[in-house]
């Protein structure tokens, strides 16, 4: 059957041209919007030569395969007399949108989305700074690096300057992380960005310690356990402070005459916010941060190897379901708390220990997809083979969405088996104490973010373990007939 003949046959089976509103195509599918979906002969479509499958959704999706989908669509719209629309969205992206659109928003998701909007613009800088600090740390641990840094500029020469430059670039962002957070928070909450940056800067100023000592809030023996000290509350406090700043600024601006707005509004806004921020928000946010740190110490940083293995397995296994529900953004403050602690104690082993564990989740998807690919070859499911081949390179590099929304999640069970496999990788990296200097994409590209050469190796081994475990578990529980009908 030619492409034109197939398009004519499809038009008949969907109820004729009078039942077609519009048509478009993606990489593998003809998507038809119908006036009355009940008039479409679904079984007839499924049994038509050249049709690989049918998906009933908001639009009727007729699976034809790469290349063929566009040719049949062009002929179809000509026969139906509707406007041709080239849909650039690939199948996995459409699946993702369909799944996300079916989820209900709530206050928790809205709050987590706000957090994501604040931090996502900073991810490139977080990654870059982490890489610079990571390379500087690695070089400092080598024989010539130690000699260069301990001997100073005259003894170290080039290597002293080079390592120092790497530390300068990395520290230029991470040391002032609170300021960037304040600026982005202000943009999100509708406050003046520079004022938001000032709130972030206040949190790391040395005068905080002077104020704390004056009011008896400072613990000289253990400064980090002070009720109020520099950096207390971290980014959690900064975000809360800027949110209050935005409310105060808007109210003051309404009552201040326009001619005095530029002078009075920022001055009064900062004065009121600063008092609230230093004496209420920072101590309160610090209390919350301390609870998070203590919780992490029990769950993710435990010295007990049994606890480490269990926590690593569970966290890696359940991470992708959290992503699916939009709850993963809630982990960003935890990443940030760990990053701030690491920067404050630069050189302390561990760093961001949660990120390497959760990064294993995507590796489990890769292993599951490889298992499905081999079964797809046995049952001659060409569509699934092409989908996986196209998505695997991205999966290895830490972009898991094409595999999740194009392969494992639509099939159902592989999404679960992939998570079960990922858990083994998470257990391994937690047992080995792997920590990162930052967080960012997962997969192979995250290897340079690990803190030491040994951690880089163990992170890679964790990925391999997750690949293999995801492959084995999926091979056992997913049958050939499951793949044949996918």
Q: Which of the residues 13, 14, 26, 248 is marked catalytic?
A: 26
Using an 8 Å Cβ cutoff, are 22 and 87 in contact? Answer: no
Using an 8 Å Cβ cutoff, are 50 and 65 in contact? Answer: no
254 forms beta bridges with none
DSSP code per residue over 37-50: GGGS-HHHHHTSTT
**Residue indicated by tokens 């920022």:** 266
Which H or E run includes 128? helix 123-141
**DSSP E strand stretches across 35-159:** 53-56, 60-63, 84-86
Using an 8 Å Cβ cutoff, are 226 and 276 in contact? Answer: no
Q: Are strands 20-25 and 84-86 parallel, antiparallel or unpaired?
A: parallel
**DSSP E strand stretches across 293-377:** none
Alpha-carbon distance of 155 to 148, in angstroms, equals 6
Task: Mark whether 26 is an active-site residue.
Answer: yes
Alpha-carbon distance of 74 to 29, in angstroms, equals 12
DSSP 226: S
DSSP code per residue over 292-312: HHHHHHHHTS-S-HHHHHHHH
Active-site residue set: 26
């Amino acid at each position: 059957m030619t492409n034109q003949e197939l398009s004519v046959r499809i038009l008949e089976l969907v109820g004729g041209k009078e039942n077609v509103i519009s048509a478009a195509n993606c990489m593998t599918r003809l998507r038809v919007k119908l006036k009355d979906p009940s008039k479409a002969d679904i079984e007839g479509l499924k049994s038509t030569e050249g049709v690989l499958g049918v998906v009933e959704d908001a639009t009727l999706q007729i699976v034809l395969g790469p290349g063929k989908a566009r040719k049949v669509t062009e002929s179809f719209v000509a026969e139906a007399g509707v406007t041709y629309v080239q849909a650039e969205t690939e199948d996995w992206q459409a699946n993702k949108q369909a799944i996300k659109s079916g989820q209900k928003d709530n206050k928790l998701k809205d709050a987590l989305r706000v957090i994501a909007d604040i931090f996502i613009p900073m991810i490139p800088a977080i990654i870059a700074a982490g890489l610079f600090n990571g390379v500087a740390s690695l070089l400092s641990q080598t024989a010539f690096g130690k000699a260069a840094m301990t001997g100073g500029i005259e003894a170290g020469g080039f290597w002293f300057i080079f390592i120092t430059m790497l530390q300068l670039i990395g520290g230029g962002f991470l040391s002032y992380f609170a300021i960037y957070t304040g600026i982005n928070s202000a943009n999100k909450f509708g406050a003046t960005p520079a004022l938001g940056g000032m709130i972030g800067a206040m949190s790391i100023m040395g005068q905080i310690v002077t104020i704390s000592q004056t009011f008896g809030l400072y613990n000289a023996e253990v400064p980090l356990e002070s009720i109020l000290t520099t950096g207390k509350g971290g980014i959690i406090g900064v975000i809360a402070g800027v949110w209050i700043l935005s409310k105060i600024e808007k109210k003051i601006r309404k009552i201040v005459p326009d001619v005095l707005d530029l002078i009075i509004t920022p001055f009064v806004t900062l004065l009121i916010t600063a008092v609230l921020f230093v004496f209420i928000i920072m101590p309160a946010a610090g209390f919350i941060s301390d609870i998070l740190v203590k919780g992490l110490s029990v769950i993710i940083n435990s010295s007990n190897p049994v606890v480490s293995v269990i926590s690593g397995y569970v966290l890696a296994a359940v991470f992708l379901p959290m992503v699916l529900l939009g709850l993963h953004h809630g982990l960003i403050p935890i990443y940030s708390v760990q990053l701030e602690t690491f920067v404050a104690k630069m050189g302390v082993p561990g760093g961001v220990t949660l990120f390497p564990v959760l990064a294993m989740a995507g590796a489990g998807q890769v292993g599951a997809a490889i298992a499905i690919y081999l079964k797809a070859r046995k049952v001659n499911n060409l569509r699934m083979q092409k989908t996986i081949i196209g998505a695997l390179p991205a999966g290895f590099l830490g972009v898991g969405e094409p595999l999740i929304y194009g392969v494992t999640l639509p099939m159902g069970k592989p999404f679960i088996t992939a998570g079960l496999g990922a858990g083994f990788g998470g257990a391994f990296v937690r047992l080995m104490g792997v920590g990162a200097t930052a967080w960012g994409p997962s997969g192979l590209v995250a290897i340079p973010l690990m803190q030491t050469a040994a951690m880089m190796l163990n992170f890679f081994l964790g990925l391999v373990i997750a690949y293999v475990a995801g492959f084995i578990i999926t091979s056992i529980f997913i049958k050939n007939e499951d793949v044949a009908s996918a």
